[in-house]
A and B are shown apart, each in its own frame.
Chain A
Amino acid sequence: MGKVNCYMGIDVGSVSTNITLIDEQENVIEKLYLRTEGQPIESIRAGLKDIYKRMGMYVSICGVGTTGSGRQLAAAIIGADVVKNEITAHAIASQKVIPDVRTIIEIGGQDSKIILLKNKIVYDFAMNTVCAAGTGSFLDRQASRIGISIEDFGHYALKSQIPVRIAGRCAVFAESDMIHKQQMGYLREDIIRGLCDALVRNYLANLANGKKLEAPIVFQGGVAANIGIVKAFEKALGLEIIIPKHFDVMGAYGVALLAKEQMQYRAGKSKFNGFDKLNGDYTAVSRECSGCSNCCEIVQISLNNSPVVCWGDKCGKWSGQQGDNISKSEEFTI
């Protein structure tokens, strides 16, 4: 039996690293959701190893796309055909699942976004800029503070009869407000429900600010698993919220679709380095360049001590010539 042609999408986010494989018919044949835990290189490697173990025998990778805040890094290590920002990737995935989608709510680890579509094109989007209240990492933290696992968080919220009002304007204030309410003896489920309501209020005030949210509304990203937040959104908007089947890996799915599109358009060989390349020893070095007054912070990734990629400079001196080893250059102060 021949190998199945596959396209891989990798979304390296702040909290999770997601990988999806799609076939020629654009069906998701494998997906993986891993915690990034601040070590993107390690988690990409672990994820790919896992995929290889399970699927390596049956598939051949014809195209790779990366997205998420670690997309450049992932692209450099794996060899990617498409590097795309997560907003576009999410919109594409969502449109694939629900072609007439009008509003996409996406809440990830550190970012929350709203994407509005009209006539099947993105016509407006917003992304949180200065506040991370209402995102996955904040919920994670609060769950551990209350002493429940994040998976149970939503179910607790549903048990509540009378939600407690919590100030959701800022993550720090929400936290102190919540602690205060805890000390006063409010029920745990009421506090959790209050927190869900507060985060939805924060989201709508910060991102949806003055924009009209039209149905159908799709909710994706890790936080969509939280039934408490979903219900709070439905209540606040008075509309039904659709959660796609692969809500947790929509970014990776979107970029896999883009990789497929790109490879068909370009009709060449994929830049994918292959699964075996990942066994090498990747190291990252960061230095402040003293070449000019900009004092850029340069990061260089090396594989077995030979430089693979370099970025962070404004002038293109380092990112232009990836072969130079910055740790040996005189223009760096250690």
Chain B
Amino acid sequence: MIFTFPHLGNTYIVAKAFLDDFNAQYIIPPFNTNKTLEIGSKYCSEANCLPFKLFVGNMLQASELGADAMLITGGCGPCKLGYFGEMLQKTADDIGINMELITLEVPDQGLKELNARVRKISGNTSFVNVVKVANSAKNVAIKIDNLERLMRIKRAREREKGSVDLIYRAFKNDIMKIKGSKNILEYIKLTENKLNDIKLNENANPLKIAVVGEIYTTIEPYANFELERILGNMGIEVERKVTVSDWIVNDMFRKGLHLPRDSSYVKASKAYLGRMVGGHTQHTIGNSVIHAQEGYDGIIHLYPLGCMPEIVSQAILPAIEEDHQIPIMTIIRDEMTGEAGFVTRLEAFVDLLKKRRGENIDGQSKLLYGY
């Protein structure tokens, strides 16, 4: 079997570490581009969401390169429209490509079924080894997310513009050549050190914007026009609580093993939303409240067109905006590839936040200047 997996931000590094450790054969699909979307849209219903179209695009591009099994996570319900795994399998069959979908999540049939699925990848290695490999993959995910967080902080403060981007580009380039979780973790550490050596602007007090919304659009840079980089290079610190590692720890491991999960966002969302309604709605609502309490300057809410759970969030967010006096901007992403309109909204939002902060600091209105 030659494995592949869809792109979701830097998850490919986690998947790579996992498959390397099992000595499995795999293909990393080409990164998401307009071409991926074009291929995906061709085989999807118009009403499918952007993430699904890109998944299909990844699947077809990987299939062309020889992959015949695709690993995905979360096919059992986090999305209200559900059945991602089943729908992908059906789409693959309809197109007529040879692709087996393997969903790595604890299914209704229990851990035994999950074990059978993992065995397809791991072969006849010991159970202890499987646990060990899964654990290292989790560690890679955590370290990657920490690295991303560090980049977001440094980018907003770097003295020389583009320093972080330069290091990150080298990282993305080199990580492809590095095999196994141990080496990958080492290289992440090395990159972390490089980031820590960047000269910072000591007096910087950057605006802080939090990103909430549908998991794929918030994490995958292609789906959000590299929002974090654009904002970071405007000198803004970006934070995003929903991460891949958080998902692996809470929704795969802890949920599967029936351990207590992080539920701070559930508590915070209680006043607005009493229960789980699918997708990341509770995260979106809860984290918005938490961010407002933490003193963020603004919140950007992202989701792909037609995402039902986030439509619910969008309806609730104005109440949070009012109650907590924090500006929230919703941006919906669809197949449009023009970045200009997106950047216009970001710039205007940043102007608004700057002006609000200026207002708060010295109590008088100041005009804004161009970048």
Chain A residues at the B interface, C-beta cutoff of 8 Å: 65, 69, 81-88, 92, 111, 119-127, 129-130, 209-211, 258, 261-262, 265, 293-295, 297, 314-316
Q: Of the candidates A81, A126, A211, A294, which one forms a contact with B33 in the assembled complex, judged by CB atoms under 8 Å apart?
A: A294
Contact in complex: B344, A129 (CB < 8 Å): no
**Given contacts A294-B33, A316-B162, is CB(A125)–CB(B371) below 8 Å?**
no
> Smallest CB–CB gap between B223 and chain A, Å?
14
Q: List B121-179 residues whose CB lies under 8 Å from chain A.
A: 162, 165, 169
Give the CA-CA distance A83 to B340 in the complex, in Å: 13
Q: Is B24 an interface residue (CB 8 A)?
A: no
Q: Of the candidates A69, A126, A261, A262, which one forms a contact with B341 in the assembled complex, judged by CB atoms under 8 Å apart?
A: A69
Q: Is B93 an interface residue (CB 8 A)?
A: no
Contact in complex: A295, B35 (CB < 8 Å): yes
Contacts of A125 in B (CB 8 A): 329, 348-349, 352
Q: List B315-371 residues whose CB lies under 8 Å from chain A.
A: 315, 318, 321, 327, 329-332, 334, 336, 340-341, 344-345, 347-349, 351-352, 355-356, 359, 365, 367-371
Contacts of A121 in B (CB 8 A): 352, 355-356, 359, 365
Give the CA-CA distance A262 to B331 in the complex, in Å: 30
Contact in complex: A123, B356 (CB < 8 Å): yes
The 8 closest A-B pairs by CB, nearest first: A87-B348, A82-B370, A210-B318, A85-B347, A88-B351, A293-B31, A129-B332, A295-B33
Q: Is B30 an interface residue (CB 8 A)?
A: yes
Q: Of the candidates A209, A262, A315, which one forms a contact with B369 in the assembled complex, judged by CB atoms under 8 Å apart?
A: A262
Q: Of the candidates B165, B305, B368, which one forms a contact with A316 in the assembled complex, judged by CB atoms under 8 Å apart?
A: B165
Q: Is B34 an interface residue (CB 8 A)?
A: yes
Q: Is B86 an interface residue (CB 8 A)?
A: no
- In the complex, the chain B residue whose C-beta lies closest to that of A317 is B169
Contact in complex: B370, A86 (CB < 8 Å): no
Q: Of the candidates B31, B165, B336, B344, which one forms a contact with A87 in the assembled complex, judged by CB atoms under 8 Å apart?
A: B344
Give the CA-CA distance A252 to B2 in the complex, in Å: 57
Contact in complex: B332, A130 (CB < 8 Å): yes
Q: Is B226 an interface residue (CB 8 A)?
A: yes
- In the complex, the chain A residue whose C-beta lies closest to that of B348 is A87
Contact in complex: A119, B359 (CB < 8 Å): yes
Tier of interface size on chain B? 35 or more
**Given contacts A88-B351, A122-B351, A127-B345, is CB(A83)–CB(B332) below 8 Å?**
no
Q: Of the candidates B35, B330, B367, which one forms a contact with A261 in the assembled complex, judged by CB atoms under 8 Å apart?
A: B367
Give the CA-CA distance A129 to B305 in the complex, in Å: 10
Contacts of B341 in A (CB 8 A): 69, 111, 127, 129
Give the CA-CA distance A295 to B222 in the complex, in Å: 12
- A92-B367, A130-B336 known; 14 new pairs, CB 8 Å cut-off, are A65-B370, A84-B368, A85-B344, A87-B344, A88-B351, A88-B368, A122-B355, A124-B321, A125-B349, A126-B329, A210-B318, A295-B33, A297-B34, A314-B226
> Smallest CB–CB gap between A128 and chain B, Å?
9
Contact in complex: A120, B370 (CB < 8 Å): no
Contacts of B352 in A (CB 8 A): 121-125
Contacts of B351 in A (CB 8 A): 84-85, 87-88, 122
Give the CA-CA distance A258 to B318 in the complex, in Å: 31
Give the CA-CA distance A258 to B345 in the complex, in Å: 18
Contacts of B33 in A (CB 8 A): 293-295
Q: Of the candidates B162, B327, B370, which one forms a contact with A262 in the assembled complex, judged by CB atoms under 8 Å apart?
A: B370
> Smallest CB–CB gap between A250 and chain B, Å?
15
> Smallest CB–CB gap between B239 and chain A, Å?
21
Contact in complex: B355, A294 (CB < 8 Å): no
Contacts of A211 in B (CB 8 A): 318
Can you name 18 A-B pairs with beta carbons within 8 Å? A69-B340, A83-B370, A87-B344, A88-B368, A121-B356, A124-B327, A125-B348, A126-B329, A126-B330, A127-B345, A129-B341, A130-B334, A258-B370, A261-B367, A262-B369, A294-B31, A295-B35, A316-B162
Contacts of A130 in B (CB 8 A): 305, 332, 334, 336
Contacts of B349 in A (CB 8 A): 125
Q: List B274-325 residues whose CB lies under 8 Å from chain A.
A: 305, 315, 318, 321
Give the CA-CA distance A127 to B347 in the complex, in Å: 13
**Most B-side CB within 10 Å, residue of A85, A86, A111, A297:** A85
**Given contacts A258-B370, A261-B367, is CB(A129)–CB(B348) below 8 Å?**
no
Contact in complex: A258, B369 (CB < 8 Å): yes
- In the complex, the chain B residue whose C-beta lies closest to that of A261 is B367
> Smallest CB–CB gap between B176 and chain A, Å?
10
- In the complex, the chain B residue whose C-beta lies closest to that of A113 is B348
Give the CA-CA distance A126 to B229 in the complex, in Å: 23
Contact in complex: B331, A129 (CB < 8 Å): yes
Give the CA-CA distance A209 to B316 in the complex, in Å: 11
**Most B-side CB within 10 Å, residue of A81, A92, A111, A293:** A293
Contacts of A258 in B (CB 8 A): 367-370
Contacts of B359 in A (CB 8 A): 119, 121
Give the CA-CA distance A92 to B336 in the complex, in Å: 29
Contacts of B336 in A (CB 8 A): 130
- In the complex, the chain A residue whose C-beta lies closest to that of B162 is A316
Give the CA-CA distance A242 to B334 in the complex, in Å: 35
Give the CA-CA distance A2 to B103 in the complex, in Å: 77
Give the CA-CA distance A85 to B356 in the complex, in Å: 17
Contact with A along B9-51 (1 / 0, CB 8 A): 0000000000000000000001101110000000000000000
Give the CA-CA distance A297 to B340 in the complex, in Å: 13
Give the CA-CA distance A265 to B367 in the complex, in Å: 11
Contact with A along B194-237 (1 / 0, CB 8 A): 00000000000000000000000000000000100100000000
Contact in complex: A123, B165 (CB < 8 Å): no
Give the CA-CA distance A290 to B229 in the complex, in Å: 21
Give the CA-CA distance A309 to B31 in the complex, in Å: 27
Contacts of B331 in A (CB 8 A): 129
**Most A-side CB within 10 Å, residue of B34, B162, B344, B367:** B344
